[in-house]
Structure 1
Amino acid sequence: MNKIKAVIIEDETRAQIYLKGIIEQNEPEIELIAICDDLPSGVLAIRKYKPELVFLDIEMPKYNGLEIGNFFNEEEMNFAIIFTTAYNQYAIKAFKTAAIDYLLKPIDLQELKQAIENFKKRKFTTLHQLNEVSLKLRKDTRIAIPDGNSLVMIEPNDIVYLKAENSYTMVVLASGKKYVTSRFLKNFEESLIDYQQFIRCHKSFIVNTDYIASYSKSDGGYLFLTTEAQIPISPDKVEALLAFFTRVNR
């Protein structure tokens, strides 16, 4: 019997080990030929080994799993994708609508078996399906914030500011709640591009202008927020920031 060649693309080591174990113990017809930590290395493995099936995590640093469609044209998409995700039911409807298989973490054995049976019928995932899911998730009125092994869905208006901390980002909410996630600040900047109240005021900060109380020119420039937080603003960002507000001439 010819085995089904498969690749796992998952950034969390524990999730890699768990998925590898549950597949090897329960799906002998699947041969795992590569396990990759991020999307770029996963794309290289797909091009090298030409798998029939790819288990792909969605929330990963630098690249979102849904961005895999940016690396292949229609003719090259000759493999099937089963997404592994911690998205809650609020966003799962996007996958169901596009008829793309997904496995909710922690992965259930019966759901894995059903996804593989579906793969045998469909054989590959199309760019159209990927684009459909991406579009529906972009229209989602909430932002997905990775929190451990799950995703928290946050209303953009509840975000006061975001701060880069090396390869992590701290998301600060009006409630005082803080989330530290392994996504880069640049990733959040792209996710928030449709929300005009957000501005990159500093290389390390994105601020929600709705929470700005005042601006001080002292010490290089600072923003004082209604939550009493104080964050810096780069000199080259001042004019763009002030354009959000009506200034009264002296």
Structure 2
Amino acid sequence: MDTIRALIADDEAHLRDYLESQLKTVWPELRVVAHAANGLEALRMTDEEAPDVVFLDIRMPGLTGLDVAARLVDGPKPPHIVFVTAYDQYAVDAFEHSAVDYLLKPASLERLEKTVAKLKARLKPAAAAEGAVPAAALQALLAQLAAGGVAAAVPAPAPAAAPLQWIRASHGEETRLIPIDEVIYFQSNDKYTSVFVAEGESLIRTPISKLREQLDEQQFWQIHRSVIVAARHVAGTRQDFRGRLMVQLKGRPEQLVVSRNYVDLFRGM
């Protein structure tokens, strides 16, 4: 198979870089030939670079990812399109039942591996000759999304209450993009908030009071004015010799104090 070329379109540079770094891990032979920060740039770069695959953020200023896809599908040789989204369950449901793939931000390696496997199958010479993803399939999907009101709603900003999908944090001299699913707990630390993941501790400047407003309260529990813990990492609770309720974490030695204001969370455990 010849070298496969790809374009990544997203209006947030760090998310473009993050997706490219993930792709290098699961598909090292893929060559990312261009980045685009908006829909018009995506169209221009697609015309100039003729990528085989285009990763399209759905929500971009100007032309949306859906607008770009609608124009690309009318071209003489449409690229394979993977939509990237952080929103809209209706759109996700539609993608699930279509020939077109999608990724939820930030893309996990496991999910990206499935997308790459689909793309490789479609890019095989025999599949390409047969039209593995015919233009009609993409056109039908775009029509379905538009009929559901998705296309009209795309330019609107995400709701303020939408839960965080990732955390941009400092780790030494590096800045890391941490998927929210990898966070074990947050802890207030003087002027910073510490973000604990399996690989260690990073720092963000967001106060824990503001952070709480951006987290899914079903997935993250505040157990102290300075601590928020991911519910899936809670192994159980116990009382220490002072009578304080302590949260025990799965596979970690540290135990977190539950303040009296939050003890009710653990009634019955």
Residues 114-165 of structure 1: CA deviation (Å, up to 9, x unaligned): 111101222364432332222222232674543289979xxxxxxxxxxxxx
* Unaligned stretches of 5+ residues in structure 2: 124-131, 164-269
Following superposition, the deviation at residue 104 of structure 1 comes to 0.7
The verdict on how the C-alpha distance between 1:105 and 1:131 changes in structure 2, with shifts beyond 3 A counting, is same
Partner SS for 1:120: helix
| Secondary structure of the structure 2 residue equivalent to 1:81 | strand
Q: Which secondary structure state, in structure 1, belongs to the residue aligned with residue 143 of structure 2?
A: helix
Does the Cα contact within 8 Å between 1:105 and 1:149 map onto a contact in 2? no
CA RMSD of aligned residues (A): 2.7
- Counterpart of 1:100 in structure 2 is 100
* CA distance, structure 2, for counterparts of residue 14 and residue 150 of structure 1: 22
SS at 2:103 equivalent: strand
Asked if the contact 1:9/1:36 (under 8 Å) is kept, the reply is yes
Q: Distance in 1 between matches of 2:39 and 2:85?
A: 15
- 1:44 matched to which residue of 2? 44
Give TM-score, length-normalised by structure 1. Answer: 0.53
Alpha carbons of 1:42 and 1:120: their partners in 2 closer, same or farther (altered >3 Å)?
Answer: same
- What is residue 9 of structure 2 aligned with on the other side? 9
Q: How does 1:137-176 map to 2 (within 5 A)?
A: 137-140=145-148, 143=153, 145-147=156-158
Number of residue equivalences: 152
Gaps of 5+ in 1: 153-250
8 A contact 2:99–2:138 mirrored in 1? no
Residues 69 and 13 of structure 1: is their aligned pair in 2 closer, same or farther, counting only changes over 3 Å?
A: closer
Which amino acid is 2:147 matched to?
K
- Residues 156-198 of structure 1, C-alpha deviation per residue, up to 9 Å, x if partnerless? xxxxxxxxxxxxxxxxxxxxxxxxxxxxxxxxxxxxxxxxxxx
Report Cα offsets for 1:37-75 as digits up to 9, x if no partner: 112111121111111111111111111111124434645
Distance, in Å, in 2 between the alignment partners of 1:23 and 1:150 is 30
Cα pair 2:66 2:142 within 8 Å, conserved: yes
| Of 139, 142, 155, the match for 1:131 | 139
Q: d(CA) in 2 for partners of 1:109 and 1:149?
A: 27
Match of 2:117 in 1: 117
What secondary structure sits across from 1:76 in the alignment?
coil
Residues 43 and 68 in structure 1, CA contact (< 8 A), matched pair in contact too: yes
- TM-score, normalization by structure 2: 0.50
Letter of the aligned partner of 2:96 in structure 1? K
Q: 2:137 is aligned with what amino acid?
A: Q
TM-superposition CA deviations, 1:57-99 (whole Å, max 9, x none): 1111111111124434645234211111113433312112322
Moved more, 76-85 or 143-152: 143-152
Q: 1:26 to 1:63 in 2, by over 3 A?
A: same
Map of 1:32 onto structure 2: 32
Residue type matched to 1:147 in 2?
A
What is the distance in 1 between the residues matched to 2:3 and 2:161?
Answer: 32
Moved more, 83-92 or 140-149: 140-149
Contact 1:78 1:125 in 2 (8 A): no
**What amino acid sits opposite 2:135 in the alignment?**
L
1:66 corresponds in structure 2 to 66
Change (3 A) 1:77 1:27: same
Q: Which amino acid aligns with 1:109?
A: L
Structure 1 runs of 4+ off > 6 angstroms? Answer: 148-152
3-state SS of paired residue (2:157): strand
